[in-house]
Chains A and B, each alone.
Chain A
């Protein structure tokens, strides 16, 4: 057997680290990370970081942790490198952890490797599975999947949200052990900038990912472009279906070059090689050619359908389950009308 994540003869000390939310609770990615830790044999310790950590410890009192170590204080409510790294480092040292599991949220993604370095360990990030014999992760932007393990300890594993069924356990009253950390930072988090609610088109929890490609802005059968109409159809469908909006690079690049083609689109919507790789149960692509640098971003979209005028587009070559060779303007207008009528 691999030296892997070891069995009974060499029990690991597994530390799961999590931040508390603004209301003091633990969010789903944290509960998933605790659930993932159960695939490894060892002693579980939970480390909690936040302005106040007792509510979170109580929420997971029955998770089987031998200890709850906490770093608490207003300075630890801010997602920023200096304070998050110092808190994680202190808890990991107090726990003498050999395996550290964190959810790969933007907050943990910012510090995961740095924390491992401070502990003279190693980190693996964007992990999609943890088992008794190692981890699963992808290389070259979701093009190839590796099963791997490593001998270095501590080993910090950042697991991507959505890869594990979240922990369900009894709440209770947990006894916590505070860990003292003194740290200051030259950085202050000043807030979150989000598009106005009407234009908030990225919805990570949506069942459906709706992707718009550059075809929406191209000349159509009548020889003219119909961009305002495209915008209206896309927003109409998003509002009716509550799906999340993705885009091809070509479309957001046009929007980004001062042409404000579709004002509700930005690079944050971009799916693919230099965009995101979201997780949704279903995906519907429209007016997009389905080239490889785009479709690598669909790796974790389970069921895929596409509407394109081109029967030979990338989607036709094993990338979509169904390709409708049709005019997306006509089809999506109809889809939205039917949804609205329901």
Chain B
């Protein structure tokens, strides 16, 4: 029996991690300084989820990957220019803020409501993928909430591997404390998988995949519905950069022996 999946990957944008980020206060709550100007990248762990989804779909012919993204439309378009060359998918865009200071619950509602509208959605084939934590809010909450809204109680977080068996069951490895993995066996779809780094290197850009994706990406961006995303009920008393800037002592011209002795003394203090 061949297995086919509908793999829905949820992922958004984050500021390029090489940028300096600074918080500012706005009437709508905290935000990033020059947020609209900051170059954005696909949220890294969501990116791994997308690459794993494409790989799983390739190995199970007839499967389809959807990429559901809530982000500012114009920025999403920019990021899609490169992401679309890496994996085949159908984009479903929702227009809204990608800020870390918004509520995961609002984002999850918008994502789940959108997933429910996918034509021909079949729960027995559905795998909902995403990053286990974003590089913005970093809460690890959104995917759980999407799962709850869709009624999926087989959920896994910090996933590094999925291995599908011929009967449709799969083994999952999740990160747990102390550099270990917890192995679980799940009877089959539907399931929610919040991915960590996984095992695949980032795919190289493939212009052919990019061209194929672009045919659906532009209409999807045009159709993107705005979502109301806020942080109702939350009061931020402060958002600040860490105060700790160290006065680095730079030690040059010290012999390896002397450095070693100093390091040992420090370790053993």
Q: How far is the CA of A315 from the CA of B252 in the complex (A)?
A: 14
- CB of A257 within 8 A of CB of B104, answer no
Cα of A320 to Cα of B100 in the assembled complex, Å: 28
- Whether the Cβ atoms of A325 and B138 lie closer than 8 Å is no
* Cα of A133 to Cα of B263 in the assembled complex, Å: 41
Q: Are A114 and B148 in contact (CB under 8 A)?
A: yes
Output the least CB separation between B262 and chain A (Å): 8
Known contacts: A274-B197, A323-B251. The answer to whether A140 contacts B238 by CB under 8 A is: no
Return chain A residues, CB-CB under 8 Å to B173.
Answer: 193
Given A114-B147, A140-B136: A305 touches B154 (CB 8 Å cut-off): no
Stretch of B5-13, B52-60, B178-186, B205-213 at the chain-chain interface: B178-186
| Given A187-B154, A324-B259, A150 contacting B235 (CB threshold 8 A) | yes
B45 cross-chain contacts in A, Cβ below 8 A: 274
Q: Are A326 and B256 in contact (CB under 8 A)?
A: yes
| Of the residues A144, A190, A317, A338, contact of B239 by C-beta under 8 Å | A144
Indicate which residue in A109, A152, A189, A203 contacts B182 across the interface (CB closer than 8 Å): A189
Is the CB of A74 closer than 8 A to any CB of chain B?
A: no
Given A125-B140, A139-B137, A292-B17, do A106 and B174 touch, yes or no (CB 8 Å)? yes
Contacting residues, chain B, for A187 (C-beta < 8 A): 154, 184-187
CB contact between B238 and one of A141, A146, A303, A322 (< 8 Å): that residue: A146
Return the contact of B156 from the options A3, A110, A141, A147 (Cβ within 8 A).
Answer: A110
Tell me if B263 and A190 are in contact (CB < 8 A). no
B178/A204 in contact, CB under 8 A: yes
Which residue from A109, A110, A269, A315 sits with its C-beta under 8 Å from B179?
A269
**Docked complex Cα distance between A319 and B247 (Å):** 8
Interface secondary structure of A, over-half rule: mixed
Total number of B residues with any Cβ neighbor in A under 8 Å: 86
Assembly CA distance A131 to B20 (angstroms): 30
Q: How far, in angstroms, from A285 to B174 measured CA to CA in the complex? A: 28
Chain A residues with CB below 8 A from B158, complex form = 106, 109
* B residues near A326, Cβ cutoff 8 Å: 251, 254, 256, 259
Enumerate chain B residues within 8 angstroms of A257, measured Cβ to Cβ. Answer: 201
Bound state CA distance, A192 and B173, in angstroms? Answer: 9
Does A208 count as interface, using CB distance less than 8 angstroms? Answer: yes
Complex interface bits, A45-61 against B, C-beta within 8 A gives 1, otherwise 0 = 00000000000000000
Q: Contact: B140 with A190, CB < 8 Å?
A: no
Q: Are B135 and A273 in contact (CB-based, < 8 A)? A: yes
Provide the bound-state CA to CA distance between A250 and B265, in Å: 30
Contact of B183 among A106, A113, A146, A193 (CB under 8 A): A193
Residue pair A293, B246 in contact (C-beta under 8 Å): no
Given the interface pairs A122-B233, A140-B21, A322-B248, the reply to whether A106 lies near B179 with Cβ below 8 Å is no
Chain B residues in 8 Å Cβ range of A38:
none
For residue A143, CB closer than 8 A to chain B, the reply is: yes
Q: Is A16 in the interface zone, CB < 8 Å from B?
A: no
Q: Are A267 and B239 in contact (CB under 8 A)?
A: no
Bound Cα distance from A191 to B179, whole angstroms: 14
Smallest CB-CB separation from A268: which chain B residue? B179
Measured CA separation A324–B264 after assembly (Å) = 14
Q: Is A335 an interface residue (CB 8 A)?
A: yes
B97 CB–A CB distance under 8 Å: no
B246 CB contacts on chain A under 8 angstroms: 304, 318-321
Q: Mark B225-253, 1 if CB is under 8 A from A, else 0.
A: 00000000111111111100111111110
**Interface residue tally of chain A, by bracket?**
35 or more
CB distance from A201 to the nearest CB of B (A): 7
A143 to B154, CA, bound (A): 32
Q: How far is the CA of A207 from the CA of B268 in the complex (A)?
A: 10
**A82 CB contacts on chain B under 8 angstroms:** 153-154
Neighbouring B residues of A292 by C-beta, 8 Å: 17-18, 20
A126 touches B185 (CB 8 A): no
Query: Does A270 sit at the interface, judged by CB under 8 A?
Result: yes
Nearest B residue to A124 via CB reads B139
B139 and A126 form a contact (CB under 8 A): yes
Q: Write out, one digit per residue, whether chain B residues 152-169 have a CB within 8 A of any chain A CB (1) or not (0).
A: 011111101000000000
Question: How far apart are the CA atoms of A79 and B201 in the complex, in Å?
Answer: 29
Q: Which residue of B lies closest to A107 (CB)?
A: B176
B68 within 8 A of A: no
| 16 extra interface residue pairs, beta carbon distance < 8 Å, beyond A106-B177, A145-B242, A316-B250 | A106-B157, A112-B140, A114-B148, A117-B144, A123-B141, A124-B139, A187-B184, A192-B183, A193-B180, A274-B44, A282-B267, A293-B17, A321-B248, A330-B256, A334-B259, A335-B260
Residues of A whose CB lies within 8 Å of any CB of B are: 2-3, 79-82, 85, 105-107, 109-114, 117-118, 122-126, 133-134, 138-141, 143-152, 185-195, 200-204, 207-208, 241, 253, 256-257, 266-270, 273-274, 282, 284, 291-293, 296, 299, 303-305, 307, 311, 315-327, 330-332, 334-335, 337-339
Question: Could you show 16 A-B contacts with beta carbons less than 8 Å apart?
Answer: A79-B176, A81-B153, A106-B177, A113-B140, A114-B145, A126-B138, A133-B237, A139-B100, A140-B100, A146-B240, A190-B183, A204-B178, A256-B199, A270-B197, A324-B259, A330-B256
